[in-house]
Structure 1
Amino acid sequence: MSKPKSIQVFEYSTLICGQEYNGHHFKKAHFNALVKLNEIHKGNYFTIGVNKITFKNYVGVLQVDGLVIEILPKIDQYESDSESSKIKWQAALIEMLRVTKRLKIKEKDEASVATQSKHLLDIYFEWFLAEVQKLIHQGLIKQYYKETSQVKALKGKLEFAGHIAKNVVHKERFYATHQVYDKDHLLHQVLFCALEIIASLTKGSYLYSTCKKVQLDFPEVKTIKVSAKTFEQIPHDRKTAPYETALAIARIIILNFAPNVKTGSENMLALLFDMNVLWEQYILVRLQRAQEKKGFTIIGQNSKPFWQNIAIRPDIVLSKGENENYIIDTKWKNIDQSKPSTQDLRQMYVYNEYWNSKKAMLLYPTNAISSEINEKDFVAFQETPNVKDHHQCSLGKISIFKEGRLDEEIGNTILKWFETSKNE
């Protein structure tokens, strides 16, 4: 099998048309496809220059015209772009996606990803194919659905207008709507659509033969056009429960497949994640896993009405007992050489007011050693007349790595900061 053409870059880096990266050329066709993809997504993914693409805060992977581009996160723009740095950050991205349940991969398999030159699309495709194989092994379900067609014996409801139009000559036939009970139903049609996409994108790779094997074991079904609305029509009950994971991955694959972004005979698939959102969700999960030992209750995206139909919501609210609330707002950026923005500090002030919180924290990642937070690090906002207790804000920098891997104890470290500040 041929090795896939792939380029690894970091967020906020630039690809220039005609230049070579990782031994592969970034061609005009690739550039044009990315420009169209960016237009579809209202300019959120990239900054477009003259024959160049600069990535923003979206990380993940996209494939276009046989080229895989993997966009990795990075805290410090001055950090080396070496191969070891790319391996470290690819592992970090995969682990963040795994912890936040956007990706299923066994921890023991994570180490093999870099050595086998796998990228995120491979991992998602493997996950989906494994889920479909599991369903086939368990036995694919049959469902009732309505079908309107020509039948030789009348069953169901006769469609008079269609019957008269179609059977002037063949009076022995009936054009009727009747119930059918078989495996050619919406669930399998959606899964088959995802299998077709994987087959079209993995030609020449080790996954292609696996996909074709799964397709051979899969029942013949109608080819349908799948959209977001299609997924809303899928029934959710006891019989379809085993399909939930496969359908969730199929949704990711199908809805991120862009058949209208053409370059030659190829289509594009883009799985991109807002790094600010991923960082927030990762911290939330790590805090929730640590909360029981520390006696905290952790809630994410807890909103309150602010003005008319506008609501405000901090990223994370920590509660201890009935009256102790703390606020954390996560920021995926390096602040080692700068200060928080005035806008961010205003937000923290408002959050403290609305959640009756005495302390708030702006939380940033760092490649350096984590902050040592104590009472003096929580600084009061400017005093307000006739107010005795002024709430405070701190800036926390958390080191996300420990011995080259994501630190699993990051949640405990953050919660200790609030315990320390309370006890001093």
Structure 2
Amino acid sequence: MTDAPPPTSAGPGSPLPARALDTTAERPWPVRLLSAKIADYIDKMSPVWIEGQVVQLNRRPGAGMAFLTLRDTDADVSLPVAMYAKVLAGQTTPLAEGAHVVVHAKPTFWKGRGSFQMQADEVRALGLGDLLARIEHLKSILAAEGLFAAERKRPLPFLPRVVGLVCGRESKAEHDVVVNARARWPEVRFEIREVAVQGTAAVPQVSAAIAELDAREDVEVIVVARGGGAVEDLLPFSNETLVRAAAACRTPLVSAIGHETDSPLLDLVADFRASTPTDAAKRIVPDVAEERLRLRQARERMQRAVRGRLDREQHGLDAIRSRPVLAEPGSMIERRSDDVEQLARHGRSAFSAALLRAGAEVDRLRAQVRALSPASVLERGYAVVQVADGSVLRDAAQVASGDALRVRLTDGEVAATVD
């Protein structure tokens, strides 16, 4: 039941405005009227199931009531919830601060003190199995969006100048990361953001710290570290808001949340997952002693390689210089000079022999030609008779009486006439 409506006038002959829009400084609503209107409006609202985390729980056995504050797991928003003690007593698992619950409640407004709260008639604690099932469902959604894809992973810088660190306040995780990293590389600098790493404040504070460090130009890698804990303590690092904030980070992100067996969703979206905060320290900076050792070993290998190459080239030069042709360069010229002289002698001998053979052949041919020459026949007293046309007379029938003849002798010729 609602209280009787308040009077609608501030005094005789002065009716109150029917709507809030019509109120003025001269014609205001009294507090009781506004409070009644708010109560009427809220009373029309239907009951609703809401989910959140219990951050405060007060039991008042004498009044038969219990009061709790229900806070959103993703944002800094909370609602007061009241319930009868018997509703709280009906829980199979005792309700405690930090529990995740769903509450069936109806909004109520107390006119006397102008306060708003939710009146609950049923409370259900979300068990670990329910929470893990929700995480698995969220995991499948984020995986389908490609937030866990390997091609999104960015390589960590080899030697970051500044490392952003998100961790708990005065936590061992902070000590493990900072001490081990500086032991490996003393010059590394840290931008540390100490935030809540469990509870309802963890999601907004960690998300804000990641965004703040990501906006800095000098921060080259960000580490989100927490030293393990119960599954319930690590739930904020599987929260969708925080995981999406990490996915939107442009700076390479290292997740060092739990131990080897822990696997919050932040591990999957991060560019690198470290098994522990100490492992994260080893991953983000190199070991200066190890790097110096490698440089020294590399320098020694290069020196050995250069010395070996110089020794091989020197041995080659020594082998070449030890050859007789380089030890006594004139000996090669002398041997070649002797060869040239010998070849010249052979050439002259061969040429002389060829000339002798050619002269003998010429003499032989000359004797043959002379033996076959008509001149030789003429020298023995023979003559050659030619008729007027110059042909040789071989038959007497070729001429007639009175024909002129020409008689050639060894020395000269005579003219004759046929009788």
TM over 0.5: no
- Greater strand proportion: 1
Q: Please report the TM-score for the alignment, with normalisation by the length of structure 1.
A: 0.23
Structure 2-normalised TM-score? Answer: 0.23
The structure whose Rg is larger is 2
Q: Which has the higher contact order (CA 8 A, sep 6+)?
A: 1
More helix by share: 2
